[in-house]
């Protein structure tokens, strides 16, 4: 996974995540649309980020560099949100309290 994309997991809410996603995607060109939805699965808080760039070439480059996929025409990034009070263990990928 791309380091810049991995750093998005440091955010705990969508309000602070959205400008970071926009900034990351802006490196590839103009962001035409960015929608973020909150999700929860098996107790894990996530953000589903749907992105559209101004050109197909910008989208292809973003997909290639960040390893994101496409769903119904949009680029989709799933970001695990940081849960306040939990510390991430980088070596094991586990959360401790």
CATH, residue 42: 3.30.70
Q: What is the pLDDT of residues 37-73, one digit of tens each?
A: 999 888 889 999 999 999 999 999 999 998 899 999 9
15 vs 88, higher pLDDT: 15
Number of structural domains found in the chain? 1
Q: How much is the pLDDT for 42? A: 84
| Burial call 5-43: b when 16+ CB within 10 Å, e when fewer | beebbebeebeebbeebeebbeebeebeebebeeeeeee
- Please tell me the pTM assigned to this model: 0.78
Q: Note down the domain range covering 66.
A: 3-96
Predicted local distance difference test score (pLDDT) of residue 85: 59
């Amino acid at each position: 996974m791309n380091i810049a994309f991995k750093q998005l997991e440091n955010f705990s809410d969508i309000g602070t995540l959205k400008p970071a996603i926009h900034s990351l995607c802006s490196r590839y060109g103009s962001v035409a649309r960015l929608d973020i939805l909150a999700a929860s699965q098996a107790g894990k808080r996530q953000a589903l980020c749907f992105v559209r760039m101004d050109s197909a070439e910008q989208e292809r480059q973003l997909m290639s560099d960040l390893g994101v996929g496409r769903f119904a025409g949009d680029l989709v990034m799933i970001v695990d949100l940081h849960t306040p009070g939990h510390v991430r263990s980088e070596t094991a990928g586990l959360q401790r309290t």
